[in-house]
Structure 1
Amino acid sequence: MRPFNAGAGAKSTARRLVSATANSFRSVSPPPPPLHLPFHPSKPPANNLQLSISRGRNTLHERKATYVPSAISKTLQRGGGGGEAPPSSSSERKLAVAAWSAVTLVAAVANRVLQKLALVSMKDYPFFLAQLNSFAYVFVFFSVLRVRYHVGITTNEMLALPKLPFVAIGSLELLSSICGMYAGAMLPGPAIPLLFQTFLVWQLLFSRLLLGKRYHFNQIIGCFLVAAGVVVAVSRGGTNSGMLSGISPLWPGLMVASSFFQAAASIFKESVFIDAAKRLKGKSLDIFVINSFASGFQALFTIAFLPILSSMKGIPLSNLPSYFTSGAACFFNIGTNTIGCEGAPLLPLLYIASNIFFSISILNLLKVSNAIVASLASRAAVPFAIYILSQPLPYLQKGMSLSPFFHMGSAILVVGLIMFNLPKPQFS
């Protein structure tokens, strides 16, 4: 029995030695807690998780992981899968504003010139051209919006924005289009862009009333100089008797009203961008959402108020089918009764295309800047458009001689635009 007891004692002694060693190790160095890696399904796994041994203590600890997003993830977070991300830095924003200002300037010149040429071909059917332009907007913009939705640029959150501002924009743009079409068919070419310069005055007023913006002294004086330049150039800008001699005051008034409604619509568009930045949590709103729904409501208002609009033109509701049939024949320049429709359909189609492109460019400029900058970019096209329209053009052979009063009024207008753009004065 002694050997057995001795063996048992040796084993027991070995167990006690191992247990004591383990207990002493636990007292010196407790086991490290389980590591919880900061994996997240929407983020890449952190690759900078490191385990280190501290010099002072013989323990393991976890260094806190810091997630550094890549350039691609930053872009996805800003864009959110829908809408292009706005320029992030000041230099990028300035470049975007300059580029879209130049594009808007060219588009505005083409739009004004082609509008007058299209109305030469469709002078007896301005109401038809206005309705055709409205429904072309709907077809083009919703087609583009559908494509952008399927590729992920436009999101469900963008489409769920409140529609009441789009109703206001659509109704205002319809009124602007109708007034502009009727007035443009009766006014001389250079008077159209000049009278539309009152847009800046209305823009300033609506920005203050609806958006609460404040303007400094230079901008207010510049705005009044623009209005004074328009008055001088139009009242004495033509031949000896003036640019608007023999023209009913109704037509210049309608052109001013057209700028009034367009300025109000522009302010509502800016308010949509401001509201969307809050609702979409900083994501950039797709401009085709605004263009599509605004043009859609404009078309709905056109259909709803067609009897009233036709009566304003002196067309009984019962005669509308024959009027649209004759207008379509003039637009396509087919049939026997197309006298005075020379230049169609090329000139009206060019005008519609330029109008759509101008709407896209100015809304992009509005997106990266504000309504005043967009207004100034389109207004800067006036001297160029006036000079082109005063020259002999296809289907507008006569041209127009411009008096020194016209040049003086244009100079006052340009000075007003420059003063409006001057930085805010600093008072000591």
Structure 2
Amino acid sequence: MSAHPPGPPVWALPGLLRKLAVDRLGMMRDAAGLSDAVRVSMGPKKLYILNRPDYAKHVLADHAANYHKGMGLVESRRVLGDGLLTSEGELWRAQRRNVQPAFRPGRIAAQAGAVAEESGRLVELLRGRAGDTPVDVLHEVTGLTLGVLGRTLMDTGLQGHGGIAHAFEAVQDQAMFDMVTQGLVPTWVPFATQRRFRRARRDLTRIVDALVADRGARMSEGDGADDAFARMILAAREREDPALGRRLLQEELVTLLLAGHETTASTLGWTLLLLARHPHVRDLLREEARGVLAGGRLPEAEDLHKLTYTTQVVQEAMRLYPPVWILPRIAQGPDEVGGFTVPAGADVLVCPYTLHRHPEFWDDPERFDPGRFDPSRVANRPRYAYIPFGAGPRFCVGSNLGMMEAVFVTALVTRDLDLTVVPGHRGIAEPMMSLRMRGGLPMTIRPAG
């Protein structure tokens, strides 16, 4: 007969609940230290925190139909609406079908030139700011990821919408505020977070409407490009209710822009910080990049498979700082996971941040070691011990594009530049929709020797 997972000791419960509001990563670490399956009572709510590869596989893949999007993302619906991150059922399946063709391997390979050009543009921008004055490299990388997104998925330039990244920061702040408050505080209550969100939402609506109008006009003039943006516009036009179609298009586009740039920017920020802190790894990567990309050339699609050590560096950065750090679900019906009962309605959390540090599957888990992703070592680990892009049917649709972008940028920046972290910058992770780096990434830049 199955039983409930163990709960924290009575004396530890207040600390865990307090950390849910102020230190979510700390709460996940504390729970993982208690047991691989922990049950936390939050009044009438029951929270199940699961931290084993087989538990993750059960919830996210094998029995995914029983586990819908949960804690945090449910509340985020009032912030993001019904986009690909928050929708369920037939709406989600239709949205996924619209964007899926844009992420097929052949289509991604065809976009390698655009990704390489944008990556090279970033290197030249950083080279032009070399000197003793610190540069927020994370800010510049975020601009790059938006540019890549515009060119590859939308056939649209985003350079004229400079405020979009700041607006998305406010949206993320509101989403996390709603998660902590369980969506019980109306958006009109005058907290600073909510005031920023209302301004950001107006800005995003204006930007999205302008993008749709521009692309719609080009489509009417015979632009037959078959990208994700065009498919979204056509799907909106086919809806019987024009107002619903317009609203869903806005919400889909906001979600695509947010998820499409934020996770890759976060991965690049952490990768460049870790390389600056580990010069021996940086030197090995630079040697590979100068060999594969000799003569200062930009990478091509076939180079992705030659930049093996660079790929391992990015993978290890995503192990320590996974772009998708938490995967919340709600059990639709009763279930049994690992011999434990999970009742219908329970909130279930799978946390890649702690799963990627499980000592049974990762030796010395806090150490930065790209060699963990040598194929011989990967073969000895359970598949679901490493899930930086999630898993199962809701596996991140843009993972291949994000990896190409991260590998190209990391290779080019390291080949050509030396980046040094400003003294005193600690690189603290803030768990938002991705693991945001608090205070950006201030670095000084020199040409590489």
Q: Same fold (TM over 0.5)?
A: no
Between Structure 1 and Structure 2, the one with more strand by share is: 2
TM-score, normalisation: structure 2 = 0.28
- Max radius of gyration: which structure? 1
TM-score, normalisation: structure 1 = 0.29
